[in-house]
Chains A and B, each alone.
Chain A
Amino acid sequence: MALINLTTSTDENFVNQVETLSGQKISECYQCGKCTAGCPFSFAFDYPVSQIMRLIQIGQKEIVLNSKAIWLCATCEACTTRCPCQIDVANVMDICRIIARKENKVKEKDVKLFYDIFLESVKKHGRIFEIEILMKYNLKSGKLLTDADLGPKILPKGKLNFFPVNIKGKDSVEKIFTRFVEGIKNNE
């Protein structure tokens, strides 16, 4: 890691922002590393989760928001479950993703793409339509053959429908999305 000039780069507003949005007190983290120890995706992270917590503590907004780790976190909540300081670490990671997205700093474009397609599908059908998600994701990400090998295995089991199955009251689900978007606009 390059030298961090704490005088010029510490962003206390970022610490406050994460604390307010997540409802977690970041200073309660004493850096024991238990979250990192149990994280199933640590192998793929650029910064292990305990270091993300440390970077937030010292207000390193740019490093945190530009990290891959916050996008690769699967929100499995092993960290949250085992944190001796009772910090909802997975929630903090989630908040970092939200802030990064708002600031157009998305290090893992495909992860964001997947979230978007997933939610779009839920909005449309009230639940997910798997094949639609698969196709859209593979096309838009340019990874045409991702998981294509799974097709022959799951098709005979009836796990994939070729036509969308809408839920009862999907309009109500759609309204949730509308209300959420309006809420954001009103807040802004």
Chain B
Amino acid sequence: MRIGVFICHCGSNIAGTVDVKKVAEEAKRFPHVVYSTDYMYTCSEPGQLEIQEAIKKEKLDGVVVASCSPRMHENTFRRTVEKAGLNRYMFEMANIREHVSWVGVDKEANTKKAIDLVRMAVAKVTLNQPLFPKSFKVNKNVLVIGGGVAGMQAALDCADGGLKVILVEKNPSIGGKMAKLDKTFPTIDCSICILGPKMVDVGQHENIKLYTYSEIEEISGYVGNYEVKIRKKATYVDWTKCTGCGLCMEKCPSKKAFDPFNEGIAPTTAINIPFPQAIPKKAKIDPNYCRQFIKGKCGVCAKICPVQAIDYEMQDEIVTEKVGAIIVATGYSLFDHTKIKEYGAGKYLDVITSIQYERLLNASGPTSGHILRPSDNKEPKTIVFVACVGSRDKSLGVPYCSNFCCMYIAKQAILTKDHIPDSQSYVFYMDIRAPGKGYEEFVRRAQEEYGVKYIRGRVSRIFKRGDKMVVRGSDTLLGTQVELEADLVVLATGAIAEEGARELAEKLRISYDPYGFYIESHPKLRPVETNTAGVFLAGACQGPKDIPASVGQGSAAASKVLSLFSKDLLESDPQIAHVNEMLCVDCKKCIQTCPYGAIEEKKTPMGKIVASVIETVCQGCGLCTATCPPGAIQLQQFTDNQLLAEVKAFFHA
């Protein structure tokens, strides 16, 4: 073989603590190396040109670049060698920046380590084989999981782009958290007024197939060819007949049902339509409260329904859909304030959460938009907001900032003054995080124009005194304890991962952080991709974010799907497992161990049963390689022989 070695200075990043000239000199003595040099920036155009010229002039058939992490420039150099006529896999990278120059200061030791790494890369490239990707057909339907604002935006953008969209929402209506909000910051737009038209668009779009009150049961397949099983939960109302007239709600005798849409601040009927703008506007029965289900007799709704839509015998139904890509937009949930004993642990009626307060402010809420405190339906005059309840609190397992609470507190305080002009609002905060456009101005306006009093300190305890709620906190700017007698206390509960987020992640084979938020492929450069090809993220399922950011991500994920589907054929990565059928003993260990279900059994023409890799499903993780007793299954580009050659090159220096 004829191998060329190129040592990069990376300015002073590498050359500062590695003797690059010496590394290049040493490399000349390695087996098969016919050319070795160093350059200021190998990734620059002249740097790449040098590689290409050397390939032609020296007739190189293997190239090693010693520079940064392959995560940065492996693709750059693969393209470089490819343009000069080499197979892109006849290239190896030695990471002498992240693994050497950036982590050590001893130049002599660094140089020695860099030489070792280059020797190992040379030993490996000697055993590299040209690899070629395979093409496969793509199903151009897309599944969107979650019908909140992020999922709706993603669905609409994909549908407008001509893709067929399957939108699955676990609640009876789409709209998500945004549908519950009264106004939005920092413009005080009416939330449902701007969301409503989008919801109608989703409901009526010819390219969108809506499954509400449905959940993902099972996902199999791979990018371009996923098969999804969807559980349509029983609503006990035939939605093909239901017209959403609401007569059943009027007559339902069970009026104490928990109302998730109103966050439990007021009850609803056992058969209900969640809110007036619901899409689809269909009724469903909550069997936990329905008398027909509890006592076995009632049947009022069945009698009253003008279209005979009620079906008490309805069962869950599983439907199967085939899609080529998946956008996950499952949103977030809110911290359970009843975990905090010193704030009353949910036992005081007049200590409520911010989302409950949002329902009190909302004209379609249980109080028709009049702020009335739950205990005695009186109008509160002193309202205290407590920030960071279940955010930035290591002791509660939520050390992160929930991103949007500072802003909605300012919004709610402003709205409070609009609703009750002679009221006074106080906000206990630790820091005000308002980095968005117009956000800081908005928080200032709350203080300057609306007279909201901000107190810098956490609250230690909330307790009842007469008909007041006493809030005891500190003002750290004064260095003193402070106490307020409030009529109503609003806890700004932080964002946590949606219930079931982890289970869904496992079905999707995507990763999640310790808090259950999904992990993107790269925090800066691949923000809506996951490490599973064809699965994208949008909105707060990836981490707490506000409406503009969620909408932005919804569109971003849609554009990723549209660009993925702009090709009719996809190429698979050839760095995947490959079975040597002569060696395979059909022990099935690889089949059991493969996390992607990428290995199946097949019969060879000779009649032998062997393992076989489904090339489009294999992600090249290498678990099977480590499991296979006879070493029959090998990860191409990372075979045992290649790895051992590297180890040998290191020890036999």
Q: Which A residues are closer than 8 A to B by beta carbons?
A: 28, 30-39, 42-43, 47-48, 50-51, 78, 82-86
**A31 to B388 Cα, complex, angstroms:** 13
| CB atoms of A34 and B458 under 8 A apart | yes
| CB atoms of A84 and B459 under 8 A apart | no
Residues of B within 8 A of A42 (CB): 480-481
- Verify if B479 is at the interface (C-beta below 8 Å from A): yes
Please give the distance in Å from B396's CB to the nearest CB on chain A: 7
| CB atoms of B458 and A32 under 8 A apart | yes
27 CB < 8 A contacts A-B: A30-B430, A31-B476, A33-B456, A33-B475, A34-B459, A34-B473, A35-B460, A36-B476, A36-B481, A37-B457, A37-B460, A37-B461, A37-B473, A37-B481, A37-B482, A38-B342, A43-B481, A47-B479, A48-B474, A48-B479, A50-B474, A51-B479, A82-B342, A84-B392, A84-B396, A84-B458, A86-B395
**A50 to B430 Cα, complex, angstroms:** 13
Please give the distance in Å from A101's CB to the nearest CB on chain B: 25
| CB atoms of A37 and B458 under 8 A apart | yes
- Verify if B472 is at the interface (C-beta below 8 Å from A): yes
Which residues B419-465 have CB closer than 8 A to chain A?
430, 456-461
- Verify if B160 is at the interface (C-beta below 8 Å from A): no
**A39 to B392 Cα, complex, angstroms:** 21
**A34 to B459 Cα, complex, angstroms:** 6
| CB atoms of A38 and B476 under 8 A apart | no
Residues of A within 8 A of B456 (CB): 33
A47, closest chain B residue (CB): B479
Residues of A within 8 A of B457 (CB): 32-34, 36-37
Residues of B within 8 A of A33 (CB): 456-458, 473-476
| CB atoms of A37 and B430 under 8 A apart | no
Residues of A within 8 A of B458 (CB): 32-34, 37, 84
**A175 to B474 Cα, complex, angstroms:** 45
**Known A33-B473, A33-B475; contact A83-B481, beta-carbon cutoff 8 A:** no
Which residues B63-103 have CB closer than 8 A to chain A?
none
Residues of A within 8 A of B652 (CB): none
Residues of B within 8 A of A86 (CB): 394-395
**A155 to B479 Cα, complex, angstroms:** 42
**A72 to B83 Cα, complex, angstroms:** 77
Interface of B is mostly: strand
Please give the distance in Å from B235's CB to the nearest CB on chain A: 42
**A138 to B460 Cα, complex, angstroms:** 36
Residues of B within 8 A of A37 (CB): 457-461, 472-474, 481-482
B483, closest chain A residue (CB): A37
Residues of A within 8 A of B459 (CB): 34, 37
Please give the distance in Å from A91's CB to the nearest CB on chain B: 15
Please give the distance in Å from B478's CB to the nearest CB on chain A: 9
Known contacts A36-B481, A37-B472, A86-B395; 10 additional CB pairs below 8 A are: A32-B458, A33-B473, A36-B457, A37-B457, A37-B461, A37-B481, A42-B480, A50-B476, A50-B479, A83-B395
- Verify if B250 is at the interface (C-beta below 8 Å from A): no
B475, closest chain A residue (CB): A33
Residues of B within 8 A of A32 (CB): 388, 430, 457-458, 476
| CB atoms of A85 and B394 under 8 A apart | yes
Leading 3 A-B pairs by shortest Cβ distance = A38-B460, A37-B460, A33-B457
| CB atoms of A34 and B481 under 8 A apart | no
Residues of A within 8 A of B481 (CB): 36-37, 39, 42-43, 48
Residues of A within 8 A of B316 (CB): none
Residues of B within 8 A of A39 (CB): 481
**A104 to B395 Cα, complex, angstroms:** 36
Which residues B472-530 have CB closer than 8 A to chain A?
472-476, 479-482
**A82 to B346 Cα, complex, angstroms:** 17
**A78 to B482 Cα, complex, angstroms:** 16
Residues of A within 8 A of B392 (CB): 30, 84
A86, closest chain B residue (CB): B395
Residues of A within 8 A of B482 (CB): 37
Q: Convert B373-403 into 0s and 1s, putting 1 for each residue whose CB lies closer than 8 angstroms to a CB of A.
A: 0000000000000001000111110000000
**A85 to B482 Cα, complex, angstroms:** 21
| CB atoms of A36 and B474 under 8 A apart | yes
Residues of A within 8 A of B394 (CB): 28, 84-86
Residues of B within 8 A of A82 (CB): 342, 460
Please give the distance in Å from A89's CB to the nearest CB on chain B: 12
**A138 to B175 Cα, complex, angstroms:** 71
**A18 to B393 Cα, complex, angstroms:** 23
Residues of B within 8 A of A51 (CB): 479
**A28 to B458 Cα, complex, angstroms:** 16
Residues of B within 8 A of A48 (CB): 474, 479-481
| CB atoms of B395 and A85 under 8 A apart | yes
Residues of A within 8 A of B461 (CB): 37-38
Please give the distance in Å from B383's CB to the nearest CB on chain A: 19
**A39 to B474 Cα, complex, angstroms:** 10
A1, closest chain B residue (CB): B479
**A77 to B451 Cα, complex, angstroms:** 36
**Known A84-B392, A84-B393, A85-B394; contact A34-B479, beta-carbon cutoff 8 A:** no
A34, closest chain B residue (CB): B458
Please give the distance in Å from A41's CB to the nearest CB on chain B: 11
Please give the distance in Å from B341's CB to the nearest CB on chain A: 9
Please give the distance in Å from A76's CB to the nearest CB on chain B: 12
Residues of A within 8 A of B473 (CB): 33-34, 37
| CB atoms of B472 and A38 under 8 A apart | yes
**A151 to B79 Cα, complex, angstroms:** 93
A28, closest chain B residue (CB): B394
B481, closest chain A residue (CB): A42
Residues of A within 8 A of B479 (CB): 36, 47-48, 50-51
